[in-house]
Amino acid sequence: MCGIVGGVSKKNITPVLINGLKKLEYRGYDSAGIVTLCKNNRLNRARAVGRVVNLEKRIKDKETPMDGTIGIAHTRWATHGEPSSRNAHPHICNHTVSVVHNGIIENFLELKATQKADGYTFTSDTDTEVIGHAIHQHLQDSESLLEATQKAILMFKGAYGIGVISPKDPGHVIAARSGSPLVVGISKKGNFIASDQMALLDITKDFIYLLEGDRKSVV
């Protein structure tokens, strides 16, 4: 199991994401990571092996402050690729698409072979990296990150709960699920996603439970 938290907030989202990850610690994990969309519209990432406090330390040590209002975060329980910083989520494709994933993409080897032939490079041993590449590829012929994600998930066999952000579509976090849990939390402070409502209870009690195959654009 692992945990996903993400959202579009009115204020700096990092404290909400870190607090959410801590609430998901009961699910068990081997590493953790976070990406926020900075004020300069760049993806800013921190990852660390072990507990969420290690990630917090990494964030404090960063040169670029993690002060964006849009972001996604993850605690990982490795299924493909050893527990390490390079395998920790979020994964980023070409500075353009960042993804967190809970589950297993069963046909990732097949997708990876095709994506390598298309010129994509891989920086991890996870099954997850094919998700970001597939969405990146579909962004070229899509109007939005939502549309690109909707097209990409048709390619996946297996289980996934995913959160996706991109500087190309900076107002949104895209969420999709099939076989892994995901809820949307609505509040005046912003709108959020999480693997379990527990991660968001400090912010809201207003939840939408995504159904199998749902894809939501959180604004």
Interface ranges with ligand GLU (CB under 6 A): 2, 76-81, 101-104, 126-128
* Of 4, 1, 2, residue with least CA distance to 35: 4
Residue placing its CB nearer to ligand GLU in the complex, 85 or 144: 85
Least Å distance between CB 97 and ligand GLU? 16
CB-based contact 95:43 (threshold 8 Å): yes
- Note the Cα 219 to chain centre separation in Å: 16
12 vs 124, which CB is nearer to ligand GLU? 124
**Which of 77, 82, 85, 102 has its CA nearest to residue 47?**
85
Q: How far is the CB of 47 from ligand GLU (least distance, A)?
A: 12
CB of 153 vs ligand GLU, minimal distance in Å: 15
- 181 and 162 in contact (C-beta within 8 Å)? no
Of 3 and 190, the one with the shorter C-beta distance to ligand GLU is 3
Task: Give least dist CB 143 to ligand GLU, A.
Answer: 29
| Torsion of Cα atoms, 3 then 131 then 211 then 22, to 10° | 10
Q: Based on CB atoms, which residue is closest to ligand GLU, 104 or 111?
A: 104
The least CB distance from residue 126 to ligand GLU, in Å, is: 4
The gap from C-alpha 123 to its chain's centroid, in whole angstroms, comes to 16
User: Which position's Cβ is nearest ligand GLU?
Assistant: 2
Q: Between residues 102 and 142, which has the closer beta carbon with respect to ligand GLU?
A: 102
Nearest CA among 218, 212, 198 for reference residue 19: 198
